[in-house]
A and B are shown apart, each in its own frame.
Chain A
Amino acid sequence: MDADTMAGGMTYGSGAARVSVAIVDDHPVVLEGVRSWLSADPRLEVVATGDNVEAVRSAARADVILLDLRLHGRMAVDEVSELSAAGQRVVVYSEHHEPNTILAVLDAGAVAFLAKHEGRDHCVETVLAAAADRPYVPPSLAGAMVGDRRSSRPALSEKEREALLLWFQSMSKASVAKRMQISEHTVKQYVDRARIKYARAGRPAATKSALLARAIEDGLIRPEEIGTYRSYASPDRPLP
């Protein structure tokens, strides 16, 4: 992680507040596995687990909810919408990583999508990025974006698309940078910009306001690119 400042001014690291995470999965083995992944990282704290959304909703409000998309035999896209609309940062993870599913989840307001096979490192990175309202694009998400043919898809630049394509192929960021003859920082910018464009094109959600505000702070996009910056960044004003 190269950024350690969280939204709301919290910091993490030794002695600082940790990111609280709730995990929802209807398979006890997976639940335990993901809990152990996250608990092993000192920056994270698992505060609630359960096999449905209600089980973790009643627990202390977590910074991030890690939600298995398929719960008890049905896709929990509606729950993603509800939680996102209520201002929760939802990271969806699933073994169903077809591009249409991933894009539907993003449309429903999820901060990120993680394929179950993507493993611990991507999982931790995604949760930390979500908590800090930073965009993070695991390879499965990059694949869904680069293969998106819907008429409503955001317009990605050629460089952003190329960076997503190479990142989907799971090269290291250094390899992507070498291939594109740019710096790793620029690679990250291209991939993050693409995610922000998707966030802007998605449904209104409080977390997206924060995401956008943070993106502007980081210089990823300029205020004039989105028109009235202040109203978008305001936490009590949903995105149009």
Chain B
Amino acid sequence: MSAERLLRAGTAVVATADRGGRIAAVGIAFGWHFAVNVPGIASGWTDYRVPWASAAGWVLFTVVGVLATARLFYGFAVPVIPLLTVLLIVDVLVIAVTPDGHMFDTPNWAWGTIGWFALLLLYDRGMVALVTVLALNALFGLVGVVAASTEAQGAADLSRFVMYIYGTGVLPIALMAAMGVLRDTAEKAAATEAARAALESERLGAVHAQRERQDRLGIVSEAAGALLHDLATGRADPADLDVQRACALAAGRLRRLIAESDDVPDPLLHELRACVDVAERQGVPVDLIAVGELPTLDVAIRRRLAEPLAATLATARHWARVTVVAQPDEVVVSLTTPATAGPASESYSWPMDGVVDYWYERDEELVWTQTRWRAA
């Protein structure tokens, strides 16, 4: 699997884990709101100072919860601060209408529920905001407890207050912290796996490229070796123009093959320069002129663009002009050089797999070759 696909898969795993956390938060908040708060409101209905205020608060909590759920699952934009303010107002309202002696009972439902609904609004907005809401909730509760507490029960009420705050606050905080850790862990694991896969891809690519280069080097070396053998044994005459041409061709191919593996900004130009360098060492002045910005080309396409030129360049004698015209979807490489030995008039062309086309033309004055790549 490619690094990119692994990274996408990792992102999907992170998204799935995160979605699980959101479902859990919504399930707990609404489960609590229906299964615990409704019976609480019903049981305290006759005791509330203003029963409808508590019921209206429950409806407002429900509305806020639905909006927060829409944000969590559908990206629905909601005003977070105003909705948190609504929750805190309801919190104060319910504390105010809860009868004395019931502060730690189910009729004071908003006090124990606000943490879960605040979590829905603040799910991915950091721990500080949630702790702030819970701290305000604790403050309002403390005021209510102190106001309702009698002198005899004062110490006991404060103790129960601390336990209550701890019990209702710690769970939303724990869930938010756990989901944060899960997200980070999944993201790191996905990134690590993608990096590992990228390394593996590079390694396999390098092995493949090396094998291919060795194969080509073998072919080129065989030709160069045969030539050297003929020269050494006297079967080939260094003064023979054909032998010189064969030597130049072999040298050009070797140089280009070496250049092919270099990590440079414009590999095609780099490879062409390697061919040109061989010709210049033969005493042939070569102009290499490029216009346009080269697109990224596979090594196979670069070879097809440069190889015919390298072969013709080996025949150059007096001067040569190499031109490269690059467009995002087209690269044209050409060589012009005075005509030397060969048929006075020769012309042929053929498409190379329909990707890189090749033309060759020779008249009394000039030899011209052109390779042309067009994006499919």
A171 at the interface (CB under 8 A from B): yes
B365 at the interface (CB under 8 A from A): yes
Q: Which residues from chain B contact A170 at a C-beta distance below 8 Å? A: 321, 323, 336
Contact B332 A165 (CB under 8 A): yes
B291 at the interface (CB under 8 A from A): yes
A159 at the interface (CB under 8 A from B): no
Q: Which residues from chain B contact A175 at a C-beta distance below 8 Å? A: 361, 363, 366, 368
A178 to chain B, nearest CB (A): 7
Contact B291 A146 (CB under 8 A): yes
Q: Is the interface of B mostly helix, strand, loop or mixed?
A: strand
Q: Which residues from chain B contact A171 at a C-beta distance below 8 Å? A: 336, 366, 368
A12 at the interface (CB under 8 A from B): no
Residue among A97, A168, A179 making CB contact with B361, cutoff 8 Å: A179
Contact B291 A172 (CB under 8 A): no
Contact A169 B336 (CB under 8 A): yes
Q: Which residues from chain A contact B370 at a C-beta distance below 8 Å? A: 169
B326 at the interface (CB under 8 A from A): yes
A148 to chain B, nearest CB (A): 8
Contact B361 A143 (CB under 8 A): no
Residue among B291, B359, B366 making CB contact with A143, cutoff 8 Å: B291
Interface residues of A in 147-193 (CB under 8 A from B): 147, 149, 165, 168-172, 174-175, 178-179
Contact A99 B291 (CB under 8 A): yes
Contact B326 A143 (CB under 8 A): no
Contact A143 B336 (CB under 8 A): no
Q: Which residues from chain A contact B287 at a C-beta distance below 8 Å? A: 117
B342 at the interface (CB under 8 A from A): no
Contact B368 A143 (CB under 8 A): no
Q: In whole angstroms, how far apart are the Cα atoms of A172 and B365 in the complex?
A: 9
A144 at the interface (CB under 8 A from B): yes
Q: Which residue of B lies closest to A102 (CB)?
A: B291
Q: In whole angstroms, how far apart are the Cα atoms of A179 and B348 in the complex?
A: 11
Q: Which residue of B lies closest to A115 (CB)?
A: B289
Contact A143 B325 (CB under 8 A): yes
Check A169/B366 contact, CB under 8 A, given A146-B291, A147-B291. Answer: no
Residue among A143, A144, A178 making CB contact with B323, cutoff 8 Å: A143
B327 at the interface (CB under 8 A from A): yes
B292 at the interface (CB under 8 A from A): yes
Q: In whole angstroms, how far apart are the Cα atoms of A179 and B369 in the complex?
A: 11
Q: Which residue of A lies closest to B347 (CB)?
A: A178
Q: In whole angstroms, how far apart are the Cα atoms of A170 and B365 in the complex?
A: 12
Q: In whole angstroms, how far apart are the Cα atoms of A169 and B336 in the complex?
A: 7
Q: Which residue of A lies closest to B335 (CB)?
A: A169
Contact B292 A99 (CB under 8 A): yes
Q: Which residues from chain A contact B289 at a C-beta distance below 8 Å? A: 97, 140, 143
Q: In whole angstroms, how far apart are the Cα atoms of A172 and B368 in the complex?
A: 10
Q: Which residues from chain B contact A172 at a C-beta distance below 8 Å? A: 365-366
Mark A90-124 against chain B: 1 for CB-CB distance below 8 A, else 0. 00000001010000000000000000010000000
Contact A149 B327 (CB under 8 A): yes
B108 at the interface (CB under 8 A from A): no
Q: In whole angstroms, how far apart are the Cα atoms of A97 and B288 in the complex?
A: 12
Q: Can you name 30 A-B residue pairings with CB atoms under 8 Å?
A: A97-B289, A99-B291, A143-B291, A143-B323, A146-B291, A146-B325, A147-B292, A147-B325, A147-B327, A149-B292, A149-B293, A149-B327, A165-B325, A165-B332, A168-B291, A168-B325, A169-B321, A169-B323, A169-B336, A169-B368, A169-B370, A170-B321, A170-B323, A170-B336, A171-B368, A172-B366, A174-B363, A175-B363, A178-B363, A179-B361
Measured CB to CB, the residues of A under 8 A from B are: 97, 99, 117, 140, 143-144, 146-147, 149, 165, 168-172, 174-175, 178-179
Given pairs A97-B289, A178-B363, 10 additional interface contacts (CB within 8 A): A143-B289, A143-B291, A143-B325, A147-B327, A168-B291, A169-B334, A169-B336, A171-B336, A175-B366, A179-B361
